[in-house]
Structure 1
């Protein structure tokens, strides 16, 4: 399927760096030269017929025959050392080989690691190193092809694979060769396209790769077809037979990017309101609030803690179209102008504001100048009478403990106005 890519030339990493000394002397190599260089390293590793020990990130690991070895392939240590670990996360590693990366990340602070390898020798090797490092409670290894060994419902914060980035024509290869070659990139394609099904909310895929030895255009293609956004998060120079470059790419569901934006907006709003709280996980919008999405809603209150308690739900429900105004010393006219500066479609107005100011009076002041603005009386006390007299479209009782229920009532009120 991708035969034309096998014929292309690949620049050495030095050729890609115009300011480097080697730029003038290194010449472009055929892609097959790099594949052949990998084959030579692999053949050298096959000469090891007895178990031996290697050091990865300062720790000793046992290596069995017929297993992808950190002694010969240096990307294992690079990826183990530079893995962008989030402490407490649960990780799935595909193709662990010796288990060096899985074990390193467990020791660095991962909560749980599951390793899956198609190679029975690699499974035995990883298991031996799990026992060596006394990590049976944190690291598990299973045999299987990619996700086939997963149990129903198992999901992870991070899924990682030091992919076999050597593209070769389709054909039968050994289990060991599957660690470095991927015929027609079929395994890599499946790894990327099925990953989302096994990710937790806001999860990510980490792809160990080499733009020297692999075909990045195919990784981009698979990610695009899977609605994943790809970005480079680590790169380093290394050496096999030829100079090479290794990278870690992160792929996240594109919908997660909006989650990240909303999470940042929540924390920015909290900070502006003087709160030191920081949200680490996004809340779901309350059920039945779809009508609020995209509406510019401004909430007005004289209590910071009330405003901050509504920040997450309102920002998520409106998809980052919510604003917040804290009333302290402003006059009615000053407060009205501050609110209108945010160009609201809907204003949620508290009744008892600072210095004895009544929200109904602020409502009246706003509607005299901006009669098309919808104001909703939003208070934990009293009824709708004074707000309706001032021109508000309705009144919702404000729950000072649980924002979601009140926001749902606001949505129901606005929905009724559109009938």
Structure 2
């Protein structure tokens, strides 16, 4: 367990909650309001913006976003031509926030439900793309979350990532892909080693170091959980 990293992430999350709520921003052509206990950093949500801008075109596609937060990525993809976006999050505040922003921007091709990954998603649903900006700081399985917002960043025992990779194929069309954004920090093989072990086809779409010490070093992967026909 990397104590320094956990402290770094907790400090960043806590600092994001110091302002008055709701707070407001203009981002990716959207008017965004951010509610308490929903993450939005001081750099106008730079990591979320980067993910949204680097997901391949989804025009005409059915998209599922896991961990939607305030709805920025889901709403951007919906506005950019996705036929429909289902936005989910474990945090009920994120669902309320996403729906408020959909209404605020008059975007009607987005729905949002509370769900722990796929648990509340209709088992008969199939999506062309699943997008997940995954919590990437691994902590012990018995990790004591101090606030709801911490669920956006910590993955107890790595089980969230394991469940994601095991279950995604059940919710994709035969040609569908999983878009996984992951903070590899100083270990750039953190994800690829796991994907190779699971024999999951994948490619790196984009990467960006947001901090000089690589504490925030985002990689975006396109993964094919189903074998090619």
TM superposition score normalised by structure 2: 0.89
Structure 1 equivalent of residue 110 of structure 2: 139
Distance 1:108-1:56 versus aligned 2 partners, 3 A rule? same
Aligned counterpart, 2:175: 202
Shift of 1:55: 2.6
Counterparts of 1:214 and 1:115, CA distance in 2? 29
Q: Give yes or no for contact 2:52–2:73 (8 Å, CA) kept in 1.
A: yes
Query: What corresponds to 2:148 in structure 1?
Result: 175
Partner of 1:336: none
The 5-angstrom pairing of residues 168-247 of structure 1 reads 168-170=139-141, 171-173=143-145, 174-212=147-185, 216-217=189-190, 220-221=193-194, 223-224=195-196, 226-239=198-211, 244-247=216-219
Does 2:8 align with 1:37?
yes
**Greater per-residue helix proportion:** 1
Structure 1 runs (4+) deviating above 6 angstroms are none
Within-5 A mapping of 1:109-188: 109-136=81-108, 138-170=109-141, 171-173=143-145, 174-188=147-161
The structure that is strand-richer by fraction is 2
Aligned to 2:224: 252
Counterpart check, 1:62 vs 2:33: yes
Q: Distance in 2 between matches of 1:213 and 1:176?
A: 24
8 Å CA contact retained: 1:34, 1:213: no
Pick one of 60, 78, 89 that aligns with 1:88: 60
* Structure 1 residue 108, shift from structure 2 partner: 0.9
Partners of 1:161 and 1:211 in 2: CA distance: 14
What SS does the corresponding residue of 1:128 show, helix, strand or coil? helix
C-alpha displacement at 1:245, in angstroms? Answer: 1.9
Unaligned runs of 5+ in 2: none
Listed as ranges, the gaps of 5+ residues in structure 1 are 1-5, 7-30, 260-419
Q: Residue 53 of structure 1 aligns to a residue in which SS?
A: strand
Structure 2 distance, partners of 1:47, 1:142, is 27
**Which structure exhibits the higher relative contact order, with contacts defined as CA atoms closer than 8 Å and separated by 6 or more residues?**
2
Structure 2 Cα separation of the partners of residues 240 and 43 of structure 1: 21
Helix, strand or coil at the partner of 1:78: helix
Q: What is the root-mean-square deviation in Å for CA atoms of aligned residues?
A: 2.2
Query: Residues 333-372 of structure 1: matches in 2 within 5 Å?
Result: none
**Superposition deviation, residue 89 in structure 1:** 0.9
Deviations 1:220-249 (A, max 9, x none): 42x346542122111122139866321111
